[in-house]
Amino acid sequence: MARVNARYDFMSDNTAPAAPEAMQAVLDANRGFVPSYGDDPVTARAGDLVRGWLDVDADVRFVASGTAANALCLAALCRPFESVLAHAHAHLTVDETGAPGFFGHGLGIVALPGASGRLDGQALAEALARPQNGHVQSPAALSLTNATEYGAVYSAEAIGALIAPAKAKGYGVHLDGARLANAAAAGFDLKAIKGLGVDLLVVGGTKAGMPPSEAVVIFDRAIARRFDARLKQAGQLPSKGRFYAAPFIGMLQDGALLRHAAHANAMAKKLAALTPFPARHPVEANGLFVEMDEPTLKRLHDSGWFAYRFLDGTVRFMCSWATTAESVEALGEALKSIA
């Protein structure tokens, strides 16, 4: 349970409230009677805005859960006796309680290495070259995350170089964009996605400053067939769809999404400049990962600032649209005092 007076600003980018643009759009959408299950004008407009943002002609759905969205995408690309190639520290590999195997009826994940959450090309090549037989779950899909779990950002070229050999084997491609806005704000070219071979993309709204919402973008029209049934069965076809679509309207119609992401990224850089602890990953998006021993982390917690130790041993500080320069400075002071 949350402690009194403790500060959760940097604990994650999902501890922040929703941004005013997103909330206003929800309030605007909350008028009159509209058809349910996404067959409403709010959802239609939000879909258009997502398509415009990415410059694509693709189906778009708005769902409540990024975990479910990722898992359903993998289930659409892999059969239970197949596997997904993904980073060993990807959110879906380690932080979703086995959701891919649940939604995918036992599908496997082949965990691959790579610095700062970016998949290592050589390791991917080796995984793709592995002999296949009936006794192992051979790969059927590649999953990438941009920005990565460790605050690094792939360029479109880097993603393309990873996707190409997977596509050459006929495999599907999923892109987890829980922090796609942060990647875009850091220079990732959103409009390049359509040429990269991505079949299914999840655009994160929640961590980007929306009330809970994620957009699933379906590039492959064959996968889109009966996708609503897939979502409904899995509890991801909201009856009051406008509540998940509206935040995307508020954040996309005037550029708030990228503007807020750029702010979050800038706050992470500012914090990196203030901390006396060495950064262990490039600060390209909205996270800072530092080296810190356990007694020091305890002192930080005791001083009221929450932060998690991550899977690679670093301590993580996440910034969001709501992070203020003042709180960065206050945390910077706290870090100096415990160093």
Closest approach of a copy of itself to the CB of residue 263, in Å: 15
Please report, as residue ranges, which positions from 297 to 316 form the binding site for a copy of itself (by CB under 8 A).
306
CA distance 118 to 121: 9
Beta-carbon contacts of residue 169 (< 8 Å; ≥ 6 apart): 128, 139
**Window contacting a copy of itself (CB under 8 A); options: 91-99, 114-122, 149-157, 280-288:** 91-99
Nearer of residues 156 and 218 to a copy of itself, judged by Cβ? 218
Closest approach of a copy of itself to the CB of residue 160, in Å: 27
**Pick from 76, 92, 47, 24: which is nearest to 215 by CA?**
47
Give me the DSSP letters along 195-209.
Answer: GTT-SEEEEE-TTTT
Neighbours of 293 (CB within 10 A): 10
Q: Is 104 in the site for a copy of itself (CB under 8 A)?
A: yes
Please report, as residue ranges, which positions from 38 to 67 form the binding site for a copy of itself (by CB under 8 A).
39-41, 44, 64-67
Write phi, then psi, for 313 (nearest 5 degrees): 95, -15
Q: Is 177 in the site for a copy of itself (CB under 8 A)?
A: no
The contact mask relative to a copy of itself for 70-89 (x = CB under 8 A, - = no) is -x-------xxxxx------
Neighbours of 318 (CB within 10 A): 28
Give me the DSSP letters along 227-278.
Answer: HHHHHHHTT-S-TTTHHHHHHHHHHHTTSHHHHHHHHHHHHHHHHHHH-SSP
Nearer of residues 230 and 260 to a copy of itself, judged by Cβ? 230
Q: Is 7 in the site for a copy of itself (CB under 8 A)?
A: yes
Nearer of residues 155 and 303 to a copy of itself, judged by Cβ? 303
**Window contacting a copy of itself (CB under 8 A); options: 31-39, 118-126, 188-196, 248-256:** 31-39
CA distance 114 to 127: 13
* Residue 26: Cβ-neighbour burial (10 angstroms; 0-12, 13-18, 19+): buried
Q: Is 293 in the site for a copy of itself (CB under 8 A)?
A: no
CA angle in degrees (0–180, nearest 5) for 101-102-105 = 70
Interface residue with a copy of itself among 48, 52, 55, 105 (CB under 8 A) is 105
| Amino acid code (one letter) for 313 | G
The contact mask relative to a copy of itself for 133-162 (x = CB under 8 A, - = no) is xxxxxx------------------------
Q: Do strands 108-112 and 82-87 pair parallel, antiparallel, or not at all (unpaired)? A: parallel
Beta-carbon contacts of residue 5 (< 8 Å; ≥ 6 apart): 304
Please report, as residue ranges, which positions from 237 to 256 form the binding site for a copy of itself (by CB under 8 A).
237-240, 243-244
Q: Is 94 in the site for a copy of itself (CB under 8 A)?
A: yes
**Window contacting a copy of itself (CB under 8 A); options: 51-59, 102-110, 121-129, 272-280:** 102-110
> Which token pair is 223?
């996968």
Interface residue with a copy of itself among 21, 96, 149, 199 (CB under 8 A) is 96
Interface residue with a copy of itself among 23, 88, 266, 274 (CB under 8 A) is 23
Q: Do strands 214-218 and 59-63 pair parallel, antiparallel, or not at all (unpaired)? A: antiparallel
Please report, as residue ranges, which positions from 116 to 135 form the binding site for a copy of itself (by CB under 8 A).
132-135
Nearer of residues 95 and 157 to a copy of itself, judged by Cβ? 95
Residue 115 DSSP class:
G
Nearer of residues 155 and 327 to a copy of itself, judged by Cβ? 327
